[in-house]
Structure 1
């Protein structure tokens, strides 16, 4: 057997083995039937340029699903992510966009299930002790109740789109510790919030893996661009208030888009 024939045979065996294991292969971008599910981090709250049809869901043409579709020209693209969505509302209100012909899905969900907005409001408006206590309550929910909700959502996605490659994206770490901020939250509060984000991402990654999905975190992409970094890709407390603690347009294009593109 020639060297070329040997490597060709080995490659064929490897492909067959992967297929036998049922490991999802990357979707062909040009031929993909892509559906973007999720909450405000997928709809693009904070990035501006919201489509008129999306209303309060605030789907942005600068959000990573729209940017990916514009660059890759998939066969079809359904953008149904919505601001404020939870795992339950994604299941009840967005999964109808999926079908047996769907080949690629992206989703962010989980932050609203554990009261992300309330956590940040508590930390901004109340004492350090109240902030840390509220963060710890959220962490408890992440560890105890969220896994089952994620399993239910991911099961629904698989049921409706059994052939799809599903990419679960995480959430950024919000603060650069010992950074440039001289006011606002304390270092203790910032550290507690970062820790909660890490724990949430760990749970998302584990539940995604158990569902046969691909998890793609964004913490690495946002490193150096957190709040207090001097070059933040996230809004701090701002007007309109709904933009607060969401990615700016550059956070979608420089953070979420590469994270999705690497896994799609």
Structure 2
């Protein structure tokens, strides 16, 4: 597969499936758990992805369900999802009796895939300009999108505890050799910080719980000695710049566990 094909695959489309995974009746009584969100919640980057939503049993959501045996588990997170997809497709499909809801959302709204593509193929200047455009969107448009999404979740399941997880900083900026320049890596990490800080503020306004994964991923970015995220990946290309199994197990799972 050519580099061009790999890069093109980074620009994801929002195709949602309504497949619902339900825990078996033999499981102990507990919470009714719903996993919403985008590829960072569906498990892209880990082995065993399936269906149009690319869900994996190595995702933090599936791992939490396996360890905690909730009464029911609805796995609705979908690769490529934006806030509108959560409101229009995922929230209507979830149970109003949910006790616990987790979600990552906002990265695709802010242009994650196209920004990474620009930084891979363009100059430092072009990359920085693209990241700055994303920051402007995060400051001006994304807050309303997040507020509407959180309001829809609250309206559908008013009794649920909602845990909103952050995104990690993607790159190790100390590595001498890496697939992107230091300038590009710092710019992309800066964009992630701005995105996470905005998500945190809107989560607080909604009265939900914000769980920050950035410390868990610190020192484990792309190009680190023990990365928790995939770099540019040839097969399958969608794994590029998503958590690997270690990232979901050691980065995201503890963040959900501590907040649930």
Q: Return closer, same or farther for 1:183/1:164 CA change in 2, 3 Å cut-off.
A: closer
**CA distance, structure 1, for counterparts of residue 206 and residue 65 of structure 2:** 25
Which residue does the alignment assign to 2:217?
A: 222
Matched, 1:151 2:147: yes
Which residue does the alignment assign to 1:35?
A: 34
Unpaired runs of at least 5, structure 1: 1-28
4+ runs of 1 displaced by more than 4 Å? none
**CA distance, structure 1, for counterparts of residue 114 and residue 237 of structure 2:** 13
**CA distance, structure 2, for counterparts of residue 230 and residue 31 of structure 1:** 39
SS in 1 for 2:37: coil
**Greater C-alpha radius of gyration:** 1
Matched, 1:175 2:171: yes
Matched, 1:238 2:233: yes
Residues matched between the structures, number:
232
Which residue does the alignment assign to 2:181?
A: 186
Superposition deviation, residue 30 in structure 1: 5.0
Relative to its length, the structure with more helix (as a share) is 1
**CA distance, structure 2, for counterparts of residue 136 and residue 192 of structure 1:** 8
**Contact 1:98-1:157 at 8 Å conserved across structures:** no
From 197, 201, 206, the counterpart of 1:202: 197
CA deviation string 1:108-158 (max 9, x = no partner): 100000110000000001111110000000011011100000000000000
**Contact 1:30-1:72 at 8 Å conserved across structures:** no
Q: Return closer, same or farther for 1:186/1:255 CA change in 2, 3 Å cut-off.
A: same
CA deviation string 1:2-22 (max 9, x = no partner): xxxxxxxxxxxxxxxxxxxxx
Matched, 1:165 2:161: yes
**Contact 2:53-2:78 at 8 Å conserved across structures:** yes
Unpaired runs of at least 5, structure 2: 1-27
